[in-house]
A and B are shown apart, each in its own frame.
Chain A
Amino acid sequence: MNAIRDTWLVFRHNTRIALRQKAGIVFGVLQPLLYLVLFGPLFATIGTWETLVPGLLAQVALFSAGLAGFGIVMDARSGVLERLRVTPAHRTALLLGRVLGSSFTLLIQSVVLLAAGYAFGLRAPLPGVLAGLVLMALLGVGLAALSNAIALTMNPDLFAPVMGTAIVPLVLLSGAFLPMSMAPAWLDAISLATPFRHVVEAIRDLFAGRYATWTVAAGAAATVVLTLACVAVGTRIFNRENA
């Protein structure tokens, strides 16, 4: 019970801060929005909005939750993290509350992106959109946990440039901008080895109103496995030095 209460407290606190810093929320979704506005109309001449927007969602996830560790770097620097660690708060709650906050931010950004997509011509069925958002929320938890773990492990000055660079190939390999069915075999093979490819294709199916497909199952499985693994790693690293 303690764990749930503490997670809620930390989540609420972090969310309140995030909502106050609206610039951060906007900035996280700005790049995918630019793709939507400046690349989307071009893409729409050969493909559909229902194909493009799921890719852009993966891009937001990686740019927003993937860089969530930046916040923990700041808190570690200012001593806030250590101060919280001396409280009897449940150890995992300190990480989980933070990570759920990042996931919530990602959800807001996803909704912004979907609304903009809708304005341009995206027409996806509501159940598909909701299911897609569930996958995004899970993905946000996993990516934020991993990002926090990386941030706690590596030199804090290198975190932003290294992660910023690492995210680019992950976005490209997910087939976010052009479906990987168009790729040569070797590129397709690498892409299949990354989880985001499966997530993007699952959301594409969901947006097309196809729910009970192997692609959706694979995407959901990839998301759940990735999230569980990342939370496990994150918790382990977060609790490493504690007595």
Chain B
Amino acid sequence: MIKTSGLSKTFRGGVRAVRGVDLSVDSGEIVGFLGPNGAGKTTTMRMLTTLLRPTAGTATVAGRDLLTDPQGVRRHIGYVSQDGGIGPLNPVGEELELHAMLYGMRPAQARERVAQTLERLELAGLADRAGGALSGGQRRRFDLAFGLVHRPALLFLDEPTTGLDPQSRANLWDHIRRLRDEDGLTVLLSTHYLDEADALADRLVIIDHGAVVAEGTPAEIKGGAGTLDDAFLAITGRSLREDGGTGEPGAAGNGTAAAGTAGKRGAA
């Protein structure tokens, strides 16, 4: 469903955000794209979703060549960005209908699809709400609705549960699993929560400093390390929780991070 080779992005000014990512995602799997903040996850996602032009490398996304047929790629993918795409003032249902029609649906079909999608995501009855009047969890599910309303074969989720309370997270996880199980949807999901990756992903791809440093099933990645946290620290030399957002107190000091550097070289 996704196959990239040497995908790279160097921004004007010389920042090499992504340096030759080789990625392969099969049909029907949920792949967790893991990495610390600034590792290149979002830049990679933005390239794969046609929002950024790669500076090197090639990619096939949903059966289309990313560089020669971005329009074909767009038709077959859904993308939910980190910050979502809901304005504060407009009724979300109206935005969803426009969104659906931009995929070529006729008005009646768009209305029907929007209704079905909202029903499925337990959002029925909220279509007339303005974006600003939604709770965090509702908002995130609406973001998901934008990514799904045209029934794509492949869905990109960039940090879908950041900032959500535990209940809303678990709820969103259920929805994502159901999409894979019932519809055979392929999902590439970036996250910096290890528990999320562990709970959802069939396979993990770990990215650091703009390159893939490890990949495998959660069990394979854990290997002898016991927990995903330990394995991750060994591979990247960094804790995922250094931003402190959800960190347990004292989970990883700078000392352990420095000690882990040797492990990274070994693994890479």
Partner of A88, one of B84, B86, B90, B104: B104
B67 engages A13 (CB within 8 Å): no
Partner of B74, one of A21, A81, A82, A86: A86
B85 engages A88 (CB within 8 Å): no
> Whose C-beta in chain A lies nearest to the C-beta of B54?
A243
Partner of B103, one of A17, A78, A87: A87
User: Shortest distance in angstroms between B228's beta carbon and chain A's nearest beta carbon?
Assistant: 30
Check B87 for interface membership: any CB of A closer than 8 A.
yes
Interchain CA distance A88-B49 in the complex, whole Å: 11
A85 engages B51 (CB within 8 Å): yes
Partner of A74, one of B78, B87, B101: B87
Main secondary structure of the interface of A (DSSP, over half): helix
User: Shortest distance in angstroms between A165's beta carbon and chain B's nearest beta carbon?
Assistant: 27
User: Shortest distance in angstroms between A24's beta carbon and chain B's nearest beta carbon?
Assistant: 11
User: Shortest distance in angstroms between A20's beta carbon and chain B's nearest beta carbon?
Assistant: 8
State which residues 78-112 of A face B: CB under 8 Å.
78-89
B53 engages A82 (CB within 8 Å): no
B85 engages A243 (CB within 8 Å): no
Contact with A along B115-149 (1 / 0, CB 8 A): 00000000000000001000000000000001000
Contacts A78-B131, A79-B84, A80-B86 hold; do A86 and B49 have CB atoms under 8 A apart? Answer: yes
Check B81 for interface membership: any CB of A closer than 8 A.
yes
User: Shortest distance in angstroms between A10's beta carbon and chain B's nearest beta carbon?
Assistant: 8
Check B216 for interface membership: any CB of A closer than 8 A.
no
B86 engages A78 (CB within 8 Å): yes
State which residues 40-70 of B face A: CB under 8 Å.
47, 49-54, 66-67, 70
Check B88 for interface membership: any CB of A closer than 8 A.
yes
B53 engages A87 (CB within 8 Å): no
A241 engages B51 (CB within 8 Å): yes
A88 engages B99 (CB within 8 Å): no
Q: Which residues of B contact A79 (CB under 8 A)?
A: 81, 83-86
Contact with B along A58-82 (1 / 0, CB 8 A): 0000000000000000110011111
Interchain CA distance A242-B71 in the complex, whole Å: 11
In the complex, besides A83-B99, A85-B50, A85-B51, 20 extra interface pairs with C-beta distance below 8 angstroms are A10-B98, A13-B98, A75-B87, A79-B83, A79-B84, A79-B85, A80-B85, A80-B86, A83-B85, A86-B49, A86-B50, A86-B74, A87-B99, A87-B102, A87-B103, A88-B71, A88-B74, A241-B52, A242-B70, A243-B66
Some 18 contacts from A to B, beta carbons below 8 A apart, are A9-B101, A13-B98, A16-B94, A17-B90, A78-B131, A79-B83, A79-B86, A80-B87, A82-B51, A82-B81, A84-B102, A85-B51, A86-B51, A86-B78, A87-B99, A243-B47, A243-B66, A243-B70
